[in-house]
Structure 1
């Protein structure tokens, strides 16, 4: 893969990483227990049982969204690590190159379209 393309993808991935971390930071904090994990913050309401139910529901939504964003962040970090190792753009399953068009559309792709 050409150097200019890799630089552009790296920039795109670093921006995606910053955006994902910002989104996660709005309702979660980095885990002290496990590297790369985020813990959703429990919303705090001061009220009766109805507000407690809202609190639990909001926490469940935060937890689900957090898991989705964490997984996407993990993929972005993995793609950045592959760039550093010089193995970016290689399918994790079959070992063949991933199409440039696919990488342009989804830079953190780890499988070619055939293996997806």
Structure 2
């Protein structure tokens, strides 16, 4: 027990992350965030991959890569424009972006906890 306490005291705490500063001009940042927000609002909770596919369909010029989009999504989360929710699918986790004021239908995607009982139509 004494050794555990010493190991605990010896570890450094995780450093605080500094706020993200986007390097794009404010007008371009506003356009990018508006398009991403509209995509997430219209198409419901989306994964990063699904969001990237929708952004490519729209043809947004300000985003240079998927990595840039992920940075913008994190920036939007910091400013509470989007939120990140976790959906457990069996042993796997799925992280989805959604807006703050929309009700998500995540409960429908969860597996049935009691499969032994028959379901009646």
TM tier relative to shorter chain: under 0.3
TM-score with structure 1 length normalisation?
A: 0.26
More strand by share: 2
More helix by share: 1
- In our comparison, the structure showing a higher alpha carbon Rg is 2
TM-score with structure 2 length normalisation?
A: 0.25
